Structure 1
Amino acid sequence: MSKEKIRSAALANPNRFLKFSNILQPWICSVSLICITIGVIWGLFYSPPDWQQGDAVRIMYIHVPMALLSSVGYFLLALCALCSLVWKHPLADLAAEEIGPIGGIATLLCLITGSLWGKPMWGTWWVWDARLTSVLILLFFYIGHITLMHAFDDIQKGYKAAAYLALIGVFDLPIIKFSVYWWNTLHQTDTFKFTSNPPIVMTMIWPLLFCLIGFGLGFLALILSRVKSAILEHQFNRIVKIQLYNSNLL
């Protein structure tokens, strides 16, 4: 059976995924909204200012979740690419197509909030720091992936080219992670460390954790919603094609 036939069959009967997402998505959205509300209000209005950075540190409650989600989103993109190229998973390309824009927006927000944070700390909106530059490259990979998805008349060629690009770009993720340790950079080291105590107080960690959980679940909810909508759209288009084919026969 060809890949297109497998895709069509899966999209025609998406019982497991649709049932799973319909049950799980309302709970994810509710918990996400609660955590974001608590985390943002707590972080912006009730957490203490930093002894060096003052109130500018409050950007952290948006910037850190976006930075994490930008890398997590691209890892999911690469995982979908691997499932598509190696195991021919019928929904991998479809999921990758929907993850790309969400991850790209998270990366863009990471860069914007980082610039807003960097201006009062470094005296400039942008520096060609290793961490900043590698995140900017990640944004270019996202844009390239989205572009390749729709660059060919044959959508399967677009999926395949985008999948290869996603696997190439995954090598940027460890550079983003370890750049602050490999090079002498202006960017601070990671907020959370498994080998030592965090460099911030618990009254900052708790609202940050709420923001991380909230934005992370919101990210997941958006992915589920977009993939579900894409499946239903493909299913609807398939039904329309069948009806048109049957009408032409008549």
Structure 2
Amino acid sequence: MNLLRFMGFSSKIIRLLSIIAVITLLFGLFLSFSAPEDYRQGVLVKIMFLHVPFSWLSLLCYIMMTVCAIRILCSQCFFSGIALRSAAPIGSVFTVLALITGSLWGRPVWGTWWEWDARLTSMLIFLLIYLSIVSLSRAFENSRISTQATAILTIIGCINVPIIEFSVNWWNTLHQAASVLRWESPAISLYLLIPLMFMMLAFTMLFILFQLMSMRNDILHWQIIVKQDCAYNKGV
């Protein structure tokens, strides 16, 4: 995609998406607070309305990064490099939030803040992969080397995605099996499912919004560097 076209298009999308995302989030929060309590977990079940979207987006973000990484290695796509670099910090934040909300949920349910459970351990490794990608993307002065190295690490780290998703099926874990994103019909009440869907939609739109804003900042930063280099070369 042409960078000038992207800057113009994204500017319009950001304004519209901001309004829709905020409205959806407020409505989702209203439904979440209005939702009935679970007969086993009581009000604690409402942590799900944050924990599930954060976990979902940490995986979705990484899948998008993997697609960008493949494009970088196959076609040296500059735009994919910007998208990958911009998405990594956002994905790491979602992963941190997923771990925090999971601990808050697990403390009263499991009786502990942390357990070296297969799902929790794989999510912690996931966070370390994210942080490694963020660090590596800024480790080299040569942007081409940095982008390619980051793409390779991203593809290697993708191995952890199916481990996270299927860990509850492959091992005996404290973490419950999937109750929403599964082949069969969802295993939770419709009164809980509807607010959850709105919260997932709202946070997905916020992710897209943050991603577009981050990419715009990276492009503007790159343009400033190019202009400075051109001015320096002319001065020389």
Interval of TM-score (by shorter of Structure 1 and Structure 2) = over 0.9
Partner Cα distance (1:166, 1:194) in 2: 25
Superposition map of 1:174-193 within 5 A: 174-193=162-181
What do the CA deviations read for 1:81-117 (whole angstroms, capped 9, x no partner)?
A: 1111111111122211110000000000000000000
Aligned to 1:20: 9
| Structure 1 residue 228, shift from structure 2 partner | 1.0
Superposition map of 1:143-158 within 5 A: 143-158=131-146
Gaps spanning 5+ residues in structure 1: where? 1-9
SS in 1 for 2:75: coil
The reply to whether residue 207 of structure 1 matches residue 195 of structure 2 is yes
Superposition map of 1:225-240 within 5 A: 225-240=213-228
Aligned to 1:115: 103
- Name segments (4+ residues, structure 1) moved above 3 Å: none
Query: Percent of counterpart pairs with the same letter?
Result: 37
Aligned to 1:219: 207
Aligned pair partner of 1:76 in 55, 64, 67: 64
Partner Cα distance (1:112, 1:101) in 2: 17
Aligned to 1:42: 31
Which letter does structure 2 place at the counterpart of 1:106?
A: F
Partner Cα distance (1:242, 1:150) in 2: 22
Return closer, same or farther for 1:19/1:39 CA change in 2, 3 Å cut-off: same
How many equivalent pairs are there? 236
What do the CA deviations read for 1:171-200 (whole angstroms, capped 9, x no partner)?
A: 111111111111111111112145333221
Aligned pair partner of 2:89 in 93, 101, 108: 101
Aligned to 2:80: 92
Which letter does structure 2 place at the counterpart of 1:241?
A: D
Aligned to 1:126: 114
Higher gyration radius (CA): 1
What do the CA deviations read for 1:26-59 (whole angstroms, capped 9, x no partner)?
A: 121111111111112321x210111111111110
Normalised by the size of structure 1, how large is the TM-score?
0.90
| Structure 1 residue 21, shift from structure 2 partner | 0.8
| Structure 1 residue 245, shift from structure 2 partner | 2.6
Aligned to 2:55: 67
> What RMSD, in angstroms, separates the aligned Cα atoms of the two structures?
1.5
Aligned pair partner of 1:136 in 114, 119, 124: 124
